[in-house]
Structure 1
């Protein structure tokens, strides 16, 4: 629990874009004391990702941690690690001594006791990097995939309760657009590990009809590349971490293959092999899914506004780092008219950055108390 927290009491509210948005929030202070000043409040923006998560605070903290939790397998492992739970790189480093959890599959907490417990521990660890106990109030903007269920929302609130005073939940594409000052008219394609989220943005919070979530994203690409390697090199010994690392180092799209040499264990024997053609094939297969999603988003827009949207398509998330992706997507969209596709700078932190910017810009009544 946070120390020194003043309570936020929620009045009646409405649901906008699937987020918890009350009509008013009143902060109370003890008799004889002034209400909170801005110096006593901490704003945080959080991107809870399937593969990695980022938190940014109004005090300049920025932390990105791989979204993995490790719990010691037995008392020997507990004594070796010296802790009951480890996170991120530490969990990966000691994975053979731990039971590993990736508790935020597709960007939401999994609906079982062990994963919910792991998610709570992970989010607590993530937010602790911002020293929230030093502040009277902590308000957070939390980013989620464009479409999440009521159960997902309930789980999200449960893992954040006790860590922050109030939250606002927004979609990842909207956070990207807000952070880039591109809410006047854009289509944002946020390519994460668990999902690709696509939304049209036109100066207000997008509705469910303005957004689409597809599962063809980073993890899907990892599995596709792994299958291609296994098919070409029978007996190859692979892990998803290995394949993900190769993808991050050498991913690209296009018509021509580039050499990309990696060390591969085949039936226990080390081989240096070229997987460049396989990386290209896997990455190329992602493009049609993105293009179809963008076309649907354009087609569903006001016809007089479609040109504006087509000419400001923004790629973000780790998947936008695939070499040549913006040009390839633009080529495949040419049949719907003139298009402009570009990649956001520092795409991995764009969601959390936009969430933090939004946190400081929104009035108090946009937050929901979760105490």
Structure 2
């Protein structure tokens, strides 16, 4: 594997469908940007990356397109992903010398194919990495959440990202059983878009849907009834229109994707060996990722599984922190990595 030494510019990358985070050894998380790239359609020239590009979604003129190069946790557009990674690596090291290339650990969903793993590794190498190692995202999330992954104790993590939900039971540095479903924050947003379209003949954009989810979205009935004014385009008149929606409507809108996540959690628990199931009953299920912040999701998981449930301290950062901790403690944690040699 080659020793990770202090001189090498080692970094951990959470290459997410919605956001990319970069952890630099000894410095922590230094980049936290949306996984969005704005390109000139005819020339494929990159015009903006990250937050600047996200502001352009749904607002670009005909010859400029703002795209998300990852879909469902995997690379959908290789060249754009590579350009985005190169940009984020440079952001992490603004004064990077020509001689030091970083060694990187990148998180990948547990359900991806060998071809998809190779694409991530290749994108990292072509973006300027000296060596690229992969770690399964639920393992990284568990490490980042501070779970005792190396011990002979069962830990359960549910990592709800932008494109996928990764569920895993971990013990002795390995994933004992796991389930990956291609449902995440993006799917929740899309469910809100479709609900508003069906119920009100109003077309809203994905950024508006995300704001609705963050402000009044819920996975569990609320005692009060928060409301929110939203703007969109009336599909009947074609004109801009404002209307008010309630939290219970968004609860209905999110019912199907949230239920799919609950079913995947139950499926994983059913496949868990009895001794580890007893550990999870004692220590509980840990929720990570942006989806963990959906109001009431922890209550719903608790009700549906009968298990204790807690949200990780920094749910959005867990995968990045896990890749970073793996780099910081590479000698003790290297067995959790997927070695590039094993991919070929």
Match in the other structure for 1:328: 300
- The 2-side partners of 1:62 and 1:341 are apart by 30
Q: Which runs of 5+ in 2 are unaligned?
A: none
Report the RMSD for the aligned CA atoms in angstroms: 2.5
Paired residues, number: 320
- The 1-side partners of 2:101 and 2:84 are apart by 21
* 1:244-299 Cα deviation digits (max 9, x unpaired): 12112222122346232123233424323124222111334334322222222222
- Aligned residues of 1:287 and 1:329 also touching (Cα < 8 A): no
- The 1-side partners of 2:263 and 2:46 are apart by 45
Flag the 1:90–1:204 CA change in 2: closer, same or farther, 3 A.
same
- Aligned residues of 2:121 and 2:134 also touching (Cα < 8 A): no
SS state at 1:47 partner: strand
Q: TM-score, normalised by structure 2?
A: 0.85
SS state at 2:226 partner: coil
Residues 284-323 of structure 1 mapped to structure 2, 5 A cutoff: 284-310=255-281, 311-323=283-295
Are positions 1:122 and 2:89 aligned together? Answer: no
> Offset of 1:136 from its aligned partner?
3.3
Name whichever of 323-332 and 155-164 sits farther off.
Answer: 155-164
- Aligned residues of 2:226 and 2:247 also touching (Cα < 8 A): yes
- Aligned residues of 1:194 and 1:218 also touching (Cα < 8 A): yes
Match in the other structure for 1:173: 138
- Aligned residues of 1:50 and 1:194 also touching (Cα < 8 A): yes
SS state at 1:288 partner: helix
* 1:213-254 Cα deviation digits (max 9, x unpaired): 1122212111211111112212x1311121112112222122
Specify the structure having the higher radius of gyration (Cα). 1
- The 1-side partners of 2:133 and 2:309 are apart by 29
Match in the other structure for 2:316: 348
Are positions 1:254 and 2:220 aligned together? Answer: yes
- The 2-side partners of 1:345 and 1:250 are apart by 22
Are positions 1:141 and 2:105 aligned together? Answer: yes
> Offset of 1:137 from its aligned partner?
5.1
Flag the 1:227–1:218 CA change in 2: closer, same or farther, 3 A.
same
Match in the other structure for 2:168: 199
Q: Which runs of 5+ in 1 are unaligned?
A: 1-24, 28-35
- Aligned residues of 2:72 and 2:183 also touching (Cα < 8 A): no
